[in-house]
Amino acid sequence: MKSITVFLERRYLKFENQYYVVGIENMNFFSRYLEVFDVVYVFSRCSVCSNLPNNAELVSNSNIVFIDTSLVSNYFEYISLYNKLIPKESVLLMRIPGLFTFFSMTLSVVFSRKFSLEMVTDPIQEVSCLIDKSIISKTKLNRLLLKFVSLVTRVGLNQSVAASFVTKHELQDRYLVNKWTEQGKYAFSYSSINLPSCDLVSKKYLLENSFNYRNKIDHSDDITLLFVGALDKDFKGLDIFIDILEMLPDNYKGVVMGDGILRQSYENRSKYLISCGRIKFLGYINNVQEKLDVFMSSDLFISCSKREGLPRVVIEAMAKGIPVISSEVSGINELIEKKYIFSQGDSKAAVKLILGLTYGDYLSSSMINLDRATDYTIERLAKNRISFYKYISARDDEKKHSDG
């Protein structure tokens, strides 16, 4: 029986001896591994809870086994239990970055355990975001820490059996040494998004929608800006989105789709906009049709994130032909045109881009976005993912054969 142990940064909730998640790493997420492996062991941080959030999803399958880390209270305990917790015959796969998975990768190197990597975000960007909120943000330790993270990432890539990347070239150009690129073990690229081809809108719809946008501009009708993201941490940049909305004319309305522990603080921050009917907080929407309706009723998609790998929600918006205005994060240059990207935290620049969007820009951006979104359909990405999993499975078989 072939198994894989997937190391995730996601925190799972343990309730009445069952595991739940608020996020994309749900049952559907693990199904991709089960196409190649018989059993998936999930190695992630777990918290025991007495109550579940409304949007928590049960992850229950006899072929998905959680390695219970809820009793591991610190990293010293984790070191001592590392080899005991992880199945010896299992293929190891680290989804990088994240403190937990980074630490696990380092231990794998120390204990000579073979592993592979899925590079889903930029480690430098991830750490930079954390540093900005710490006391070392403006010290020499800042640069030293970033250099250290870069070094550890390159060591991990060099030591890995194989590595896949969420970008087509950006992360590869940043972390791979030139001589490595000729090796087949770095030739895999795919996103985690699940985008069926049928979700792509038609060119006819784009023409009609662009014409409607022109009418809205001409008559100062309401223009809807959409923000989508989990509100558990502040790196999604909802505070920037609120700033942008406050600077725009009153006919620009905001819609926020997402939930989390910070939602109430954002709603408090937006009290005036809420009272004027200029912003709506919809919470987390799990229903596919309801979610689609929100996208289709929006005019512009605004991404203000401070760190990403390849922003999935941006791709979802592109598939609907919605023009995207985004902060500069990892992978975004592979998705939208440079002229629609603003520096992180620069609300004024974002406002200038939004107000400067003409009918011609809207139509052109819609067409380009839709065309680029076709590269991220399930039909295309699934082949790349399966190829990678088969590759690391085959390398594991070769190792066992040579050892045996």
* Domains in the chain, CATH or no CATH each: 3-194+378-403 (3.40.50), 197-376 (3.40.50.2000)
- CB proximity list for 28: less than 8 A, separation 6 or greater: 194
Interatomic CA distance for residues 26 and 21, integer angstroms: 6
Give tens-digit pLDDT for 365-378: 999 999 999 999 98
Residue 207 burial (CB < 10 Å; 0-12/13-18/19+)?
A: middle
d(CA 29, CA 24): 7
Please report, for residues 118, 161, 212, 292, the alpha-carbon distance to residue 92 in angstroms, rounded to integers and kept in the order given. Answer: 11, 10, 51, 36
**Cβ atoms of residues 311 and 195 within 8 Å:** no
Strand partners, 284: none
- What's the CA gap between 248 and 327, in Å, rounded? 17
Mean pLDDT of 244-256: 96
- Which residue shows structure tokens 């039909």? 379
CA dist 334 and 315 (Å) reads: 11
Largest Cα span, the chain: 75
> Does residue 310 contact residue 125 with C-beta atoms inside 8 Å?
no
| Lowest pLDDT segment from 23-32, 134-143, 385-394 | 134-143
pLDDT in tens, 57-105: 899 889 999 987 766 777 777 787 777 788 888 999 999 877 788 888 8
Q: Which of 14-23, 97-106, 383-392 has the weakest average pLDDT?
A: 97-106
**Above 60 in pLDDT, residue 133?**
no
Q: In what order do the strands lie in the sheet with 3-7?
A: 64-67, 39-43, 3-7, 91-96, 116-119, 163-165, 188-189
Residue at token pair 């085959």:
394
pLDDT of residue 135: 46
Q: Cα(92)–Cα(225) distance, rounded to whole angstroms?
A: 41
pLDDT above 70 covers a percentage of the chain that reads 95
Assign residue 368 a region (left: φ > 0; alpha: ψ between -120 and 50; beta: otherwise). Answer: alpha
Contact 373, 312 (CB under 8 A): no
Lowest mean pLDDT among 115-124, 132-141, 251-260: 132-141
What does the alpha-carbon distance between residue 1 and residue 154 come to, in Å, rounded to a whole number? 32
Confidence at 48, pLDDT banded by 50, 70, 90 = confident
